[in-house]
Chain A
């Protein structure tokens, strides 16, 4: 019987390559599972079809019986964040799904930058093409079809128009724990409370966690957090309890637009690549996959995203790196520093005249 190791494979395996960072084809096997373990599962969150309904947040809270908190993680507080329609605010111990709302505007005479004051555009005459002055039928069609990617570029379905000179669009994205290939939280957990499941996901064992809080500081995405009144840490489990019973996670089940897709990770990646190609072909230049690249700083994410803007717009780090990548260098420095201390002490003793 193989024992399931909660350590990063980096220091347990003979091959030093790609054990602390970089691509890892089979995370569950690296953690010690037998060959017949289930395939790695994940989430593909396609934000281009997210409608911001927050059904995922509600389903998650319901299924996992998460307590209420406000946008700063304060327990049992009902508060408005003042940021758009987002009163969840962030992922945390009590919010394992978080729908971000970003309201953006742009002038319609792009790509030329405008230096005029907003009101001046109108008085400048009819040289600016007003996007809603065209064919009303096609505009309406574009608005009607949420999944029409051409419309997304021409007339974003998340976009309304507030005037002749300005477009408004809404970006909505349901954020979640990334279940990294190289999970910082898992690497630094000193009790083994965090572990890699047979599905390749990362889960906290509540009966083991002693609330040291190291994982909170180690997560490059700021996902996992401590419940102050409880002392332990909590995060998305990708509904481990449901997975073991052959069910899909609650959020993916609840999503009405299939923005949250659950499945085998390799299949999701193929689907995401195809979706990105479709969007690109239809002219959505800003579409990009986030967390899909196995060569990124965390070896790719188990939960990855299709975004329509830079990651930081959604509150995601643009280039996260698992902190443990640099740990060998740190241990080396600490060893040298410790040797230096002994050296200084010996010199100090030998250099002082005996009484």
Chain B
């Protein structure tokens, strides 16, 4: 009859196997089965599960693409550039300071535009400032983004105009203070949802986004800074790329069936392209980052890798809401595990 972990009781099953209610999860077949550990998927056994006519259980987020992935990318690049800019300012690297501040300012203003555009009622953006709620990452994020974009935007503006050098330093420092949280809170923003593939990776996404932010910020500032001054950019970009790849590897492999959307379809392609761009970009930075052409090429690759990571993670989460198996199977396994635990304590 209905095997697997979710057999309906007493033998009841969908009449005449109604439309796609009893589904089997396909076993993942990977061509590179014997390859290195990277990219290898934890095998998910065939399990039958029940659903209501195959319909999704959780709602698909109404967040728009490309607004939200672009917001994630720009916010990250701006945040890491702001940190770099403030530190470069304190250690007297004028060109790197200027480039970082312009990146941070431009990125933050654009990210605000994308964030507001994504609202269902953009004219009510200021309602975000009615309350402050630690339980709402979007509320916390608003209070990170608002001072950050004000400080970074103003700093970039006076940098362009060449006014108030001291105010510039202060503005840059304020932006740097909020830069880190701005780049990593977005991981919490996605993870604090019922979206299976985001929530499963809730402790890893902030590190993915933090690393990705440094790869992007380092890459972009490296492109526009003379190579002999861009040493910090290169170092930050390579370290960020390594962190991004390592954290993303865990996201993609640690969560059983909830990791599956990161490997399949469009999000899977995004993730593969992201990994290729980031890895090649980081390698090229090490090898040829000290040449003008090398810096431009590797900087572009790193920024593209970061952008693709955001799109991949975003779309993987979207995909995980559309199939009820990503909701039912992990929850069933959780229940089964609790039951086992419970029965084992009873026997003891």
Cβ–Cβ contact B14 & A102, under 8 A: yes
**What B residues does A131 contact at CB under 8 A?**
none
* Residue B168 is within 8 A (CB to CB) of chain A in the complex: no
Interface size on B, residues (CB 8 A): 97
CB within 8 Å of B: which of A4-33? 6-8, 10-11, 20
Cβ–Cβ contact B235 & A211, under 8 A: no
Flag the segment in A51-59, A62-70, A263-271, A332-340 that touches B: A332-340
Cβ–Cβ contact B9 & A310, under 8 A: yes
* Residue B8 is within 8 A (CB to CB) of chain A in the complex: yes
Cβ–Cβ contact A210 & B210, under 8 A: no
* Residue A231 is within 8 A (CB to CB) of chain B in the complex: yes
- Interface size grouping (class) on chain A: 35 or more
- Shortest Cβ gap from B318 to chain A (Å): 10
Task: Give the complex CA separation of A230 and B120 in angstroms.
Answer: 7
Contact among A7, A217, A231, A334 with B187 in the assembled complex (CB-CB below 8 Å) = A334
Render B10-35 as a binary contact track against A, CB cut-off 8 A, 1 for contact.
11111110110000000000000000
CB within 8 Å of B: which of A290-315? 309-310, 312-315
Task: Give the complex CA separation of A214 and B205 in angstroms.
Answer: 17
Task: Give the complex CA separation of A211 and B128 in angstroms.
Answer: 11
Flag the segment in A238-246, A272-280, A317-325 that touches B: A317-325
Task: Give the complex CA separation of A11 and B140 in angstroms.
Answer: 13
* Residue A254 is within 8 A (CB to CB) of chain B in the complex: no
Cβ–Cβ contact B13 & A104, under 8 A: yes
Render B226-243 as a binary contact track against A, CB cut-off 8 A, 1 for contact.
001101111110011001
Task: Give the complex CA separation of A150 and B193 in angstroms.
Answer: 43
Contact among B19, B93, B209, B210 with A355 in the assembled complex (CB-CB below 8 Å) = B93
* Residue A142 is within 8 A (CB to CB) of chain B in the complex: no
What 19 new A-B contacts, CB under 8 Å, besides A106-B13, A209-B120, A212-B118? A11-B135, A90-B55, A105-B15, A111-B11, A188-B136, A209-B121, A211-B121, A213-B119, A217-B62, A223-B59, A312-B51, A312-B324, A313-B8, A317-B57, A326-B191, A341-B83, A344-B243, A345-B236, A349-B91
Please report A residues at the B interface, Cβ cutoff 8 Å.
Answer: 6-8, 10-11, 20, 81-84, 86, 89-90, 92, 100, 102-107, 110-111, 113, 168-169, 184, 187-193, 208-214, 216-226, 228, 230-233, 285-286, 309-310, 312-320, 323-324, 326-327, 329-342, 344-349, 351-355
